[in-house]
Amino acid sequence: KNEVEQSPQNLTAQEGEFITINCSYSVGISALHWLQQHPGGGIVSLFMLSSGKKKHGRLIATINIQEKHSSLHITASHPRDSAVYICAVGGVAGGGADGLTFGKGTHLIIQP
């Protein structure tokens, strides 16, 4: 079974700061997902990646397959970015079902 570790568990920052959330996993995967969950809200998929880097607006996600590590960056953070960010990995490399294995999430608070 894949083990997914996220850090930090909690992060409080000031508006405008550059944010980094890290994710490590133990077993080769088919894809890594970054998800966002606002308090009392549903889960939204931010990125799915299997190599390299993806960017969407102020969000950037990178993955290093060899090191089994991914980072989610938020540039020019804003209070509306306050949410729980969840890393999830899907599928063992080379086959297997794609039910996701989740990290415990990073609770991010951006203060004005």
Which member of 44, 53, 76, 109 binds other proteins (CB under 8 A)? 44
Taking the least distance from each CB to other proteins, the nearer of 17 and 62 is 62
Strands in 1-112 per DSSP E: 4-7, 10-14, 19-25, 29-37, 43-49, 52-56, 59-64, 69-74, 83-92, 100-102, 106-111
Give me the 79-98 binding string for other proteins, x by CB under 8 A, dash otherwise. Answer: -------x-x-xx-----xx
Whether a cis peptide bond, with omega within 30° of 0, leads into 112 is: no
- Residue 13 interacts with other proteins (CB under 8 A): yes or no: no
CA distances to 19, 26, 60, 92 from 106, rounded to whole Å, are: 11, 19, 16, 24
Q: Which one, 87 or 110, has the nearer CB to other proteins?
A: 87
Select from 21, 83, 100, 110 the one that contacts other proteins (CB under 8 A). Answer: 100
Interface residue with other proteins, options 13, 27, 43, 65 (CB under 8 A): 43
User: Which tokens is 79 given?
Assistant: 């209070």
* Closer residue to other proteins (CB): 34 or 77: 34
37 or 82: CB nearest other proteins: 37
